[in-house]
Structure 1
């Protein structure tokens, strides 16, 4: 990884050239690079966490004067809740995955001596623009190297010290491997984003990691394809038959285990017939964790038995379209599954939505009808994560309807090419009166 202050054009050209080398390296060389990255980061732990502490100190001061959100400060903390250990383990997990490059996914015999194959290959050059989360550098670098893609990273100013320290450690490690240093670049030039977004001839995919505003800005200012999501408006439908304790455990985990995450719960849809049975226990569990419940008239009336210390206020229409990223939850009463699905498909962000119920039929109906990248039955929205899916780590969450959806790991960073092996075959020999006919025989993949 190189720290570069080169122009965006020069950085993109260097990345494109490096991508051609990286794509041809054997899996062993790419795995050796991941081992070196892991070891280099582990050895630089104290320096990196010290740099992160400096970033955190400035961020907390900015949050105190209102110029930075508390959720962004939370995402910046590299020493929180085992984040450092998860970052290092993620590199090893990626190293242990099967090689995604060169997998044959289709084989067809077009004619005798003329075979067609579809083979996986890297996308090329990735541009990752991110805010706050310094571990993104290690995540992206690991996935990019393993998948044979070059990556250009541009971080936000709030994590400058952290990502420079991480980049130096990774760069020193890659210098001892066959991976070109320019294959992973951290751009340090100020205000480089507009020029990077203009490099559609050399950059193949943009992956934004950050706020709604950042993602919308990127989508509106580039011709490069964008993979990502603007919001994490995740919902839970609490159906009347749900086990109360199970429901309380799942809802509390989804809302409180990491409120600043994009896969945390933001809206609870309560079936009207569950208001006096399941919902009070769920609400009490949330209140005990300090969650503010913004309720409609019916759900608020069902919570009269909550202690006076509970935070229960009137909901607004805007709350159902808000990603709080905090201990705040919008609550809405719905009559049945159809109304819940309609609300999610209208107000949700197509990220991750779940149903809590004992009915398998209703669960399957919900998961088929909800138009989201992740749909779960009796499981927390927080499972929407590349590491938890077994991807090792992820470059982000996609709510797109093309190429890749949900947590994006190695598979989401691959595309394919078609290969034909012949023996002087020409198209003029086929079709027409007396012409040869194609066989189009399916062949085994191995």
Structure 2
């Protein structure tokens, strides 16, 4: 992994050249590179966490001055909640996955001696622009190497010390392998994002990791395809037949286990029939965890006989990704109203129904227009590692290509290969004396 202050165009050209080499390396060479990255990062742990602590000190000061959000500070902390261990484990998990390159997904005999194959191949050059989240460097490097893609990374200034330390370790690792160092590049030059976004002749896909402002800016300022999501506005519909303790457990986990994550709960929709039976227990458990409830009139009225304090919800609260211990609560009459709210106000990320009715659950999961649709499970399961992808480059709410947590499969496209023996199209057709195609499906 090279840290470069070269011009964006030079960096992109170097990455493109490296991608052509990387795409032809055998799986063993790519796996060896991941082993080397894991080894070097393990050895550099103290240096990296010390660098991360310097970033955190500056970030906390910026947050205290109102120049940085608390959610970004939380995402920056590499030593928090096992994040370091998860980062390292993700590298080995990716290494041990099946090779995604060169898988034959279709085979057809067009005619005798003329066979067609569809084969998976890397996208090419990825541009990853991220804020905070220093572990993104290791995640992206692992997935890129395994999938045969080159990657250019541009991080935010709030994590500079961290990603430079991580980059040095990854660069030292790649120097010992067959993977070209230029295949994974960290751009250190400041204020080059507009130039990078203009390089559609060299860069094949942009993956933003950060605030909705960052993602919206990128989507509005490039011709390169963008994979990502602007908001993580996740909702849970609490249906009247849900088991009360299960509802408490799932909702509390969804909201409080990591509030700054894009897969944390932001809106709770309570069926009117559950207002006096289940909702008070849920509200009590949330408040005990420090959650501020912003309730519509119906849900606030349901709490008036308790000691639970709730604020009045404003209309904008139901369109807000709080990324903190704040939760918007709204009463709905039934499943259809819940779906209408989610499909209108949600961000198509991950949404949940809590119910004992399999019929309602299946209707919800079919009708909700989201990348993740869950029944009786926490929104926090929307994660590449938890899906068994090893790790992820991000979560996509796109309607084409990859959707949801994007792992190796989402970094692959395909090409068609034909093997012939001098065949030409002129002899094929429906006229007299012309050949007909066989279009015979062959086993993979």
1:108 and 1:117 in contact (8 A); partners too: yes
C-alpha displacement of 1:433: 2.4
Q: Is the 8 A contact 1:125 1:149 kept in 2?
A: yes
Superposition deviation, residue 409 in structure 1: 0.1
Give distance in 1, aligned partners of 2:64 and 2:290.
21
Structure 2 CA distance for aligned equivalents of residues 303 and 180 of structure 1: 61
Match of 1:341 in 2: 339
User: What residue number does 1:404 align with?
Assistant: 402
Listed one character per residue, the Cα deviations across residues 364-421 of structure 1 (whole Å, up to 9, x for unaligned) are 0000000000000000000000000000000000000000000000000000000000
Between the aligned partners of 2:357 and 2:368, the Cα distance in structure 1 is 17
Does the C-alpha gap of structure 1 residues 311 and 172 become closer, same or farther in structure 2, counting only changes over 3 Å? farther
Over residues 279-333 of structure 1, what are the superposed CA-to-partner deviations in whole Å (9 max), with x where a residue is unaligned?
A: 11111110110101100111101112332xx440100000000000000000000
- 1:124 counterpart residue number: 124
Deviation at residue 89 of structure 1 after TM alignment: 0.3
Equivalence map 1:48-87=2 (5 Å): 48-87=48-87
Alignment partner, residue 190 of structure 1: 190
Any stretches of 5+ residues in structure 2 without a counterpart?
none
User: 2: CA distance between counterparts of 1:273 and 1:149?
Assistant: 52
Equivalent position of 1:250 in the other structure? 250
CA distance in structure 1 between the partners assigned to 2:319 and 2:438 by the alignment: 54
The answer to whether the 8 A contact 1:123-1:413 is kept is yes
**Whole-Å separation in 1 of the counterparts to 2:143 and 2:396:** 16
Q: What is the CA–CA distance in structure 1 between the aligned matches of 2:81 and 2:262, rounded to whole Å?
A: 17
Tell me, in whole angstroms, the C-alpha distance in 1 between the residues paired with 2:283 and 2:439. Answer: 60
Mapping 1:41-440, distance limit 5 Å: 41-307=41-307, 310-431=308-429, 432-440=431-439
CA contact (8 A) 1:291 1:311 kept: no
What are structure 1's unaligned runs of at least 5 residues? Answer: none
Query: What do residues 332-365 of structure 1 show as CA deviations (whole Å, max 9, x unaligned)?
Result: 0000000000000000000000000000000000
Pairing 1:35–2:35 present: yes
Paired residue total: 443
Task: Give, in whole Å, the separation in 2 of the partners of 1:370 and 1:209.
Answer: 24
Cα distance between partner residues in 2 of 1:328 and 1:305: 22
Asked whether the 8 Å contact 1:248–1:282 carries over to 2, the reply is yes
Separation in 1 of the partners of 2:433 and 2:207? 52
Offset of residue 211 of structure 1: 0.2
Deviation readout 1:111-155 (Å, 9 max, x if unpaired): 011000000000000000000000000000000000000000000
Separation (CA, whole Å) in 1 of partners of 2:184 and 2:349 = 29
